């Protein structure tokens, strides 16, 4: 559990920024996890003379809370915040110690206006790269409003509590003991759950953009940067900034960057975007496009935006199996992200559906965490690269079933089995499992343009070599198009192509 010398040095530098002393209240018992937490907190306290420790009793043991002198911040950590949560811990210390959180003035106003007692609990795993966003947002809310408190609960340490509350996905957020949310969420999205939305964008004052990009993944980011660099007036509207890349832990194929992680990379894309005058409109979903002299887009929120050209870069989402149990047990055993949710299935038997690269990678990943993996593939053979299949075959706790047509995911409160038909014998069979990871590919997010744009039979927008669609002034890029391969660098390139295509179109008008 010991922190490396390098981390200690960095940590000490951060702690030099503390403006007020911090008291850490520790709730411990004789368990091994309590002793590990004591060692961790003692090590942390030894790195700053502004941090003191007091042993006390808190609702969860082992846990600790961060407090200013004689004043609770409302922030607690149940479980040691290492891994992806170490940053959340450092930020919480800095904020409790007087450093202002870096959020918009509108968000701060919304938090401070909340006038009811809210206690949040977030179940996390330390390998979940989506969890820190939620933990950090709820910690900020606690720091800024004394009526709000938040406890991060590490699912591995509190396995029984996670089971009791039927938590099978992280992050899962409880508010005053009621489950209210699951999955990655921004501060604004969390605030929407507890306070009246206030207009963070004044839509009436939006200009008619030269280029309006829909999508905040690599294709949308690249398109907006390229268009802005041409001196055009650019807007970018996205449901969630980051796209699929946020779901990706290790990325090793962005040329010139030997290794990065999805959230880190998309933060860099956002920083890059912020160097230009791009109007980024987040948390907005486009439901319709209309094209006359100008292009009008309708947003789910009821607002409209206008532009001379449009670049659609809405990417793709996980394909659903379309069988009973899949939606009913989502986050109750049905999962998609092995890095995030895998640790919650420790000691359990889980299924992976899909024998392509993602399915086999998921099975390999899970095999190191769970008791046994059952991999089901519809075709007679797995479709994954041979190198992955070799690795899979070397594992002793993976059972591969081919020719399996999955028909139902069963369960009561949580998943307890999977039913399938053996396509050779026609026999109906089943496996007892407690989790099911679905990895059968992706579908393009193009439903909202299916009546206006030419699509392939897979629903991909058909574009020419300039990124142009069949509709005048409308371009498309990335995974939502009929590009041959779906990868980050390919999306970046096609975003640039579509922006240059839009620029050429505009100068010819």
Ligand X SMILES: Cc1cc2nc3c(=O)[nH]c(=O)nc-3n(C[C@H](O)[C@H](O)[C@H](O)COP(=O)(O)OP(=O)(O)OC[C@H]3O[C@@H](n4cnc5c(N)ncnc54)[C@H](O)[C@@H]3O)c2cc1C
Which residues does the annotation mark as catalytic? 337, 340-341
Supply the minimum distance, in Å, between the C-beta of residue 244 and ligand X.
4
H and E: helices and strands count for the chain: 13, 27
Identify which of 36, 303, 22 has the alpha carbon closest to the alpha carbon of residue 156: 36
User: Coil, strand or helix: which one is 508?
Assistant: coil
- Tokens 């503390």 belong to 18
Q: Which of 125, 142, 149, 248 binds ligand X (CB under 6 A)?
A: 248
Q: Which residues pair with 420 in a beta bridge?
A: 406, 429
Residue at shortest CB range from ligand X: 315
Rank residues 258 and 347 by Cβ distance to ligand X and give the closer one.
Answer: 258
Site residues for ligand X, window 479-498 (CB under 6 A)?
479, 486-489, 491
Q: Is 247 in the site for ligand X (CB under 6 A)?
A: yes
SS3 297: strand
Q: For residue 79, what are the contacts with CB-CB under 8 A and spacing of at least 6?
A: 33, 37, 62, 63, 124, 152, 153, 154, 155, 156, 157, 158
Instruction: CB nearer to ligand X: give 85 or 479.
Output: 479
CB of 351 vs ligand X, minimal distance in Å: 18
In whole angstroms, give the CA distance from residue 307 to residue 341: 41
264-293 residues near ligand X, rule: CB under 6 A: 285-286
Beta-carbon neighbour count of residue 126 at 10 Å? 20
For ligand X, the binding residues in 39-98 under the rule CB under 6 A are none
Binding mask 223-242 for ligand X (x = CB under 6 A): --------------xxxxx-
Structure tokens at 321: 């199996």
Least separation in angstroms between residue 270's CB and ligand X is: 11
Binds ligand X by CB under 6 A, chosen from 41, 162, 236, 313: 313
> Which of 134-142, 178-186, 271-279, 311-319 is the region at the interface with ligand X (rule: CB under 6 A)?
311-319
Residue 486 C-beta: closest distance to ligand X, Å: 4
Alpha carbon distance 150, 256 (integer Å): 40
The reply on whether position 446 binds ligand X by CB under 6 A is: no
Regarding 184 and contact with ligand X (CB under 6 A), the answer is no
| In contact, 411 and 435? CB cutoff 8 Å | no
Contact between 216 and ligand X by CB under 6 A: the answer reads yes
Quote the DSSP letter at residue 206. -
- Closer residue to ligand X, CB minimum distance, 149 or 469: 469
Return the DSSP state at 60: S
Contact pick of 67, 314, 406, 434 for ligand X (by CB under 6 A): 314
- Within 6-45, the residues that bind ligand X by CB under 6 A are none
> Which residue blocks in 368-448 are alpha helix, DSSP H?
386-393
Which residues of this chain interact with ligand X, rule CB under 6 A? Answer: 214-220, 237-241, 243-245, 247-248, 251, 253, 285-286, 313-316, 445, 448, 478-479, 486-489, 491
């Amino acid at each position: 559990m010991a922190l490396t010398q390098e981390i200690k040095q960095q940590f000490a530098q951060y702690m030099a920024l503390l403006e007020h002393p911090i008291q850490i209240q520790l709730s411990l018992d004789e368990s091994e996890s309590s002793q590990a937490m004591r060692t961790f907190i003692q090590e942390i306290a030894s790195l700053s003379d502004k941090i003191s420790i007091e042993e006390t009793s808190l609702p969860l043991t082992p846990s600790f809370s961060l407090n200013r002198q004689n004043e609770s911040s409302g922030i607690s950590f149940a479980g040691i915040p290492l891994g992806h949560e170490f940053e959340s811990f450092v930020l919480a210390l800095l904020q409790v110690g007087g450093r202002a959180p870096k959020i918009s003035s509108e968000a701060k106003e919304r938090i401070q206006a909340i006038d009811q007692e809210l206690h949040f609990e977030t179940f996390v795993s330390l390998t979940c790269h989506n969890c820190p966003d939620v933990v950090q947002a709820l910690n900020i809310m606690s720091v800024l409003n004394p009526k709000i408190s938040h406890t991060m609960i590490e699912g591995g340490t509190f396995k029984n509590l996670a089971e009791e509350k039927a938590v099978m996905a992280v992050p899962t957020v409880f508010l005053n003991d009621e489950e209210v949310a699951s999955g990655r969420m921004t501060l604004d999205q969390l605030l929407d759950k507890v306070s009246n939305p206030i207009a963070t964008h004044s839509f009436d004052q939006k200009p008619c953009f030269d280029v309006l990009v829909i999508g905040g993944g690599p294709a949308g980011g690249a398109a907006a940067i390229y268009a802005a660099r041409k001196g055009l007036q650019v807007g970018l509207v996205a449901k969630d900034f980051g796209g699929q890349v946020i779901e990706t832990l290790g990325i090793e194929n962005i040329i010139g960057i030997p290794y990065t992680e999805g959230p880190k990379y998309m933060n860099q894309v956002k920083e890059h975007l912020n160097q230009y005058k791009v109007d980024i409109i987040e948390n907005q979903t486009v439901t319709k496009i209309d094209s006359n002299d100008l292009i009008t887009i309708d947003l789910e929120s009821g607002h409209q935006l206008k532009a001379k050209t449009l670049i659609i870069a809405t990417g793709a989402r996980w394909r659903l199996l379309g069988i009973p149990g899949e939606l009913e047990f989502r986050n109750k055993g049905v999962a998609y992200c092995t890095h995030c949710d895998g640790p919650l299935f420790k000691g359990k038997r889980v299924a992976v559906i899909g024998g392509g690269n993602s399915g086999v990678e998921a099975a390999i990943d899970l095999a190191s965490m769970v008791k046994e993996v059952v991999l089901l593939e519809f075709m007679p053979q797995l479709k994954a690269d041979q190198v992955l299949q070799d690795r899979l075959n070397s594992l002793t706790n993976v059972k591969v079933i081919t020719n399996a047509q999955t028909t139902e995911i069963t369960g009561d409160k949580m998943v307890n089995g999977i039913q399938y038909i053996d396509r050779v014998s026609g026999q109906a069979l089943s496996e007892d499992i407690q989790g099911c990871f679905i990895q059968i590919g992706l579908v393009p997010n193009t439903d909202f343009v299916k009546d206006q744009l030419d699509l392939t039979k897979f629903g991909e927008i058909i574009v020419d070599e300039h990124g142009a669609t069949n509709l005048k002034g409308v371009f498309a890029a990335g995974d939502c198009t009929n590009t041959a391969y779906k990868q980050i660098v390919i999306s970046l390139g096609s975003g640039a192509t579509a922006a240059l295509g839009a620029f050429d179109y505009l100068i010819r008008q």
